[in-house]
Structure 1
Amino acid sequence: MAGLGIGLIGTGYMGKCHALAWNSVASVFGDVERPRLITLAEVNADLAATKAQELGFSTSTGHWQDLLENPAIDVISVTTPNAFHAEMAIAALEAGKHVWCEKPMAPALADAVRMRDATAGTGKVAAMGYNYIQNPMIRRIKQLIDDGAIGAVNHVRVEMDEDFMADPSQLFYWKSEASSGYGALDDFAVHPLSLLFTLFGHVDAVVADMGKPYATRPSKDGGTREVENHDIASVLMRLEGNISAVLMANRSAWGRKGRIALQIFGSAGSILFDQERMNEFEIYRTGEAGSEQGFARVLAAPAHRPYDHFIPAPGHGLGFNDLKIIECRELISAINGDKAHLIDFEQGLRIERSVHAMARSFAEQRWVEVSV
């Protein structure tokens, strides 16, 4: 049986990440047919042709709609800016393609609902690009929580900080446009929300504040443009199971490069994790404390599957793109009808509803229940 036929829309940071995953998944896992990289789409034909050659696609096009009409394409990766996700994902599903779409679903909640609704009756897989949940360390943390290793979880704190918007002299670009979403919440904080959803379930209620450190940014024409969304968000949350939680997100945090810091507190211990040190976590268990009151550090190892498909020795470490390869393998499992560790459009919509409840809370200055 021939491998899946792949179409890719977009070749920026995440487009390249998807292409690397499609190129590597068969070599890493060895139990799937090698995908056939059919067509790459970009904003113009010249760029598409260049990127197709670099990334291993057989053909290229300057019109993404061409992918819809190609019967050789089974799956379309959507890795464009946020505002284009809904149109492209829905068109792909209507054309009978499986969809792998980068987060968030869409800036408008109504569009996210349309994306979810477009999956009905298609029999096609529609998955979101939340690769942080694929980390073997996160999978192990989930197992420990479910096994009661730290007792009943009662409080969670999660922080996501990066500094790609920290420089006030940085030119205005699409991430500061209202059309791209709320900013720190949906372009950014959906990643820690995906971890909370995976570990604990959905968000029940929120109260949020947002901040805009720079009201304007210089534009490429020499003037200035008003920043239309917020780079900072702070949220109090109540999670499923009445778990107290705090979320803090900052896209303008100098010195932070890829930080998603989780602190999970239970009745019999605690777990600490930081994405900047993604190949380890720390655990404190009261039953093992004795006179030594400290955390034990756990290093990623072959026992923490699927780490073993990459490296045969503990402590050597995976990277961001490796998580995308794992996510790609999970997507193939879902397409094959097997159990898969993914966030699909239905679950993705729950994350989107949380984000929009946070924005509403900020606008109305009150607690808001999150609709299911």
Structure 2
Amino acid sequence: MVGVGLIGSGFMGKCHAIAWSAVGAVFPEAGRPRLVHLGEVDAHLARRRAEEFGFARASGDWRAVIADPEVDVVSLTAPNQFHAEMAIAALRAGKHVWCEKPMAPGFVDAEAMARAAEASDRVAVLGYNYIQSPAVRHIGALLEEGAIGEVNHLRIEMDEDFMADPDAPFFWKHEAASGYGALDDFAVHPLSLISVLFGRVARVICDMAMPYADRRTHDGIRRAVETYDVASVLMRLENGMPATLQVNRAAWGRKGRIAVQIFGSRGSILFDQERFNELRLYVTSDRPAEQGYRTILIGPQHQPYGVFVPAPGHGLGFNDLKIIECRELLSRIAGRPARLIGFAEGLEIERTVHAMARSFREGRWAKVR
């Protein structure tokens, strides 16, 4: 059985813990991993989380998790600025790595992570769970079979409102050390969908905005915000297709929206992550009197939905995508084909994000490569 170490036990740490606990029940062929060692910022929190999540051991030092001989794979869910040091240390120690996105705030660190993965014989992947959605998989199948003809335009947006309140306090995602802001916090998810559905981005022009220039700290002091919550990007993909990307972390009313609009010569496809158990399809092959968007409800015929629920209309959730991702990781560790974004592919996403930021600084189009 694979031995699991977890570094970080916040929102995404709990998602990873749930996935490791459930993957064997949902996908019996994956086996049942052992929850070996949990690391946190202090020993007390580590012990509490280990008891809650079911890990056998706990430590206030993340290095102890990596050094544990019973740990085969490390789930890395610490804040972005620690990803590079932790991931590289784990790979050099001979551990597989499942690191939450983005790779790192700095491109040099992301490159170092990719080099460490290439130099090792270990599996190193990133937590892009939205590519695991049965709806997204079906969109890929529709595109492959030419259901909407030749695709000529893509629009993709990601919006949430967890930074919409101007009175909300300053926290670590407002620090420049965490990255650019919405670009590497949010845009990487739409870019992961573009990567699996259409391939690489060739060039970009980007604008960013900071809705609130400062926020109060917990001490009541006003501190300057160092990241951008809004970004708008024009893109040209390597296949020549034009695309637009818009991301916003301060969009009141939006909770988890990734809206995808794909337009082709014979139809279009619409998808919204807030309603991610359905997609909408328009095809010109319908009789003119009946032409219109049809809603396709995701069900057992859209795998791997059926291994969770045997009936349509019941719906999957966010954590279910993480369980699917965990199964894909275990498949790759076992040497089987898997739908994942590894460090090499992830580096291309990081390269695109940094090209966007460069475009914003220089006020002009920027090539990704």
Shorter-normalised TM range: over 0.9
Deviation at 1:293, TM superposition (A): 2.6
Q: Give the Cα separation in 1 of the matches to 2:154 and 2:134.
A: 20
SS in 2 for 1:107: coil
Moved more, 281-290 or 269-278: 281-290
Which of these residues, 170, 173, 182, is aligned with residue 172 of structure 1?
170
Q: Give the Cα separation in 2 of the matches to 1:274 and 1:116.
A: 31
Deviation at 1:255, TM superposition (A): 0.5
Q: Give the Cα separation in 1 of the matches to 2:362 and 2:108.
A: 20
Q: Give the Cα separation in 2 of the matches to 1:340 and 1:5.
A: 20
Which of these residues, 236, 239, 248, is aligned with residue 237 of structure 2?
239
Which of these residues, 337, 344, 368, is aligned with residue 346 of structure 1?
344
Task: Show the counterpart of 1:25.
Answer: 23
SS in 1 for 2:29: coil
SS in 2 for 1:119: helix
Deviation at 1:189, TM superposition (A): 1.2
Contact 2:5–2:66 (Cα < 8 Å) also in 1: no
Which digits, 9 at most, give the CA deviation of each residue in 1:5-44, with x for residues without a partner?
0000000000000000000000011112200000000000
Task: Show the counterpart of 1:293.
Answer: 291
Task: Show the counterpart of 2:2.
Answer: 4
Q: Give the Cα separation in 2 of the matches to 1:88 and 1:69.
A: 12
Q: Give the Cα separation in 1 of the matches to 2:231 and 2:196.
A: 21
Which digits, 9 at most, give the CA deviation of each residue in 1:102-129, with x for residues without a partner?
0000000000000000012311100000
Q: Which runs of 5+ in 1 are unaligned?
A: none
Which of these residues, 203, 206, 209, is aligned with residue 207 of structure 2?
209
Q: Give the Cα separation in 2 of the matches to 1:285 and 1:268.
A: 6
Deviation at 1:240, TM superposition (A): 2.4
Task: Show the counterpart of 1:126.
Answer: 124
Q: How many residues align?
A: 369
Deviation at 1:156, TM superposition (A): 0.3
Task: Show the counterpart of 1:70.
Answer: 68
Q: Give the Cα separation in 1 of the matches to 2:271 and 2:190.
A: 12
Q: Give the Cα separation in 2 of the matches to 1:345 and 1:315.
A: 35
Task: Show the counterpart of 2:257.
Answer: 259
TM-score by length of 1: 0.98
Deviation at 1:290, TM superposition (A): 2.3
Deviation at 1:289, TM superposition (A): 4.0
Contact 2:283–2:291 (Cα < 8 Å) also in 1: no
Deviation at 1:272, TM superposition (A): 0.1
Which of these residues, 138, 141, 150, is aligned with residue 139 of structure 2?
141
Task: Show the counterpart of 2:364.
Answer: 366
Task: Show the counterpart of 2:91.
Answer: 93
TM-score by length of 2: 0.99
Q: Give the Cα separation in 1 of the matches to 2:219 and 2:151.
A: 52
Contact 2:30–2:331 (Cα < 8 Å) also in 1: no
Deviation at 1:362, TM superposition (A): 0.3
Contact 2:24–2:33 (Cα < 8 Å) also in 1: yes
Q: Which amino acid aligns with 2:74?
A: I
* 2:40 counterpart of 1:47: no
* 2:301 counterpart of 1:308: no
Q: Give the Cα separation in 1 of the matches to 2:118 and 2:99.
A: 17
- Give the root-mean-square deviation of aligned CA atoms: 0.6
SS in 2 for 1:160: strand
Which digits, 9 at most, give the CA deviation of each residue in 1:210-261, with x for residues without a partner?
0000000011111111000100000000112111100000000000000000
Task: Show the counterpart of 2:194.
Answer: 196
Which digits, 9 at most, give the CA deviation of each residue in 1:149-181, with x for residues without a partner?
101111000010000000011110000100000
Deviation at 1:66, TM superposition (A): 0.5
Change (3 A) 1:47 1:139: same
Q: For residues 218-237 of structure 1, what are the structure 2 equivalents within 5 Å?
A: 218-237=216-235
Contact 2:152–2:241 (Cα < 8 Å) also in 1: yes
Residue identity over aligned pairs, in percent, reads 62
Q: Which amino acid aligns with 2:63?
A: Q
